[in-house]
Structure 1
Amino acid sequence: MSLCGYFLTTLIILKQCSSAAELSAPPAPTLSQTAVRGSYVELICQAPQGYGGLVFKLYKIRELIDTVEYSTKRQSSRFVLRGKDTEKENLYCCQYGNSMYSFYMQPEVVSLSPLPSPHLMVEPSSGHVTPGETLSFHCQAPPDHWKHPPEAFLLLRSAKGTSGSIVAPAKLVSQSQEAHFSVKTMGREDSGEYVCLYQLKLPKTGQVNSTASQPVHITVIELPVPTLSLSRHEGEVLECVGSPSYLQDSLFSLFRVGVLSPEATHQASPTQHSARFPIPTHYEHGAEYQCQYSVSLDNYRAYSKMSMPVTLPCIAGHHSCTQTSTGSTDLALIVGSVSAGVLFLMAVLLLGFAVHRHIKNTSERRRKREQEKLWLHVHSRDHIPELTLERVDIGSLGVGGTLRGRPSDSEAIYDCPMTTFKNPSFC
């Protein structure tokens, strides 16, 4: 096609797009390219301010190639172009609802060379750890050829037969070429290959990921838990049995529960995966013991978990045990002691109440008896006669001893009628 024909075709298409919309249709949106992300291109169809729609459509020339529907009214929508749709020769326009069509635009494809991969290091450098240990990863990006520092770093793990998965949250950095990750291992599922990458945000292409670093191999060694038992076949001994899969340089240790330092340590023979510990000469009755073993793997020593505890009874013979408490608290003993204390306190309170009532009743009866004795004593005294004598007025005597004046009215000669001859002290 000649250049003149190409422009004529374009003009006809533009005329058809513009004439297809009615004059009363909402104004046309704008179609622009937001970013290039690897093998696809993102376009955004933006309605003018105050307008929007539930349906957005993308056209390639006059062919409808994509439709996006929303439950609520939106002002913009994103479209993704892949494969041949990203070629520069293609022309695109968009529409929201029954609006006018946007102007045509051509996708701008920017060919990018892959970003150089970062360098990943880990501590411990051997990559061998046991469950519960923490891995420290250090991811460092190369010098920035794009004159833009990384925005974030990612740490990923891939196990056999699985795709890569993000291990830790993305580390957002600012003006930094490196990031640190700390990962606490839980079990064998944390084994695998670890890689890191960094992200850049470029003006024309948006966010771009770098290629992954060289993998770091991590092996989480989870030794089987040993078993500890009291054996009496060859005398009384505590036998600790480890895993037959690890016979090289096995070291067994015996611990008393609650004590960090081992009481004894034995080196197992190359053909055995167990060790025997003699029972201590003096120990407390009910003392509990545990054992643990460790093996050497590539200049790294791995330790197993503690075995289940074994309680030592009193063994007759040359062993002597004391009845001292092992320090472990018996819940039943505590409940029984508290119950006995409560019952004893209730018994003391009842006894005190009974004694108080008895003393009060005794005191009351004694008071009544003393009161009765007092009244009996009062009533047992002599009969009190009631004597009435006439008072004589001796104010003046006549000659010859005769009285002057007349006698007065009869009245008692004593002011205290209760007085007796025997006991006159009542007045």
Structure 2
Amino acid sequence: MVFYEHHIFMILLLITCTYSFGMADGSDPRPVSGPPAPPPPVPSLTQLLSVGDRLVFLCEAPDGHHGLFFELFGNKTLVDTVQHQTEECGAIFTVNRKDVTQEKPFCCLYMDARRMPSAFSTYVYAKLDEEASPLPPPVLESSSSEVQRGQMLSFNCSAPLCLRPKLFQLLRRSAGSAGSAGSPLDLLGPGAVVSSSPDPIFRVGPLDGGLYSCLYQMSLPTDLRIISSASQAVQVTVLHEPNTDEPTDWPFIVGALTAAVLFLAVVVGLSLAVHKKVREVAQEKKRREDAKFWSTVHARDHVVDLPITRLSSFFKDPGPDSGEYADPRTLSTFANLSYS
């Protein structure tokens, strides 16, 4: 029992000494915490063009800042909340037109990953007419203003918003349209869209000379889409002849000629070899046909053994006593002949 009391006494003494040392040193023994972190900076709220019966608002955090939650307020009452999976620079809200009056002010705020809310944005009074700001036009850049016929050309369509658009479109503008940014209605009708892609970089070709522009589309929470105004026009000229200012590539020309000569030599050699082979085959065929012909002729040859009679015996005059002589008068042929 005395042993435990001694230990308890030593622990209390140690705590007392530590506290006394801290007080004498002028320091606070409690955990020291820094000043509270400042809230995120104030966002900005912009009303965009209406889509059907929906008013569209864009709440953006300042450059370099992002949020997980964005909230829209009307008359200091929460209207809508957009929650992102990862921190984003802004959010788009839609409000039913019939629920809005021109006297109704709107504002927004956002919360970062610490769930710390920013201050409210400046109030915006809803515009029920078509005087609201459209999506700002993108900026179009091309890799070159001139291109050889049949070659590819690259375009970059940069949207000024921090939010990534849903779709980019590269278009060919009519010859009479202005060179500055404007409405998509200034573009050509059918066939005006050269290419569409979720990526802002286009590599297309072959192209026709003329003016090119681009625009982008943003997706809304209600599955609607809002289209930006068109970018400034970019002039593209198609060259029909090679640029004579460029130096002649003699190594390439010599190499091409050498390859052509070698190719012709191979073709001529093959032609001679084929001709020789055809001639040999024809001669061999003729020899076989000649041999067959003479074999047939020799097979038809026959040796005839005729007996030879002596001419003297053939013309011998038989005597009257020989049995070989006959009186012509005794022959039936001459039997009826009368002699006078």
TM-score, normalised on structure 1? 0.23
Greater length-normalized contact order (CA 8 Å, ≥ 6 residues apart)? 2
Query: Which of the pair is proportionally richer in strand?
Result: 1
Higher helix content, 1 or 2: 2
What TM-score, normalized to structure 2? Answer: 0.28
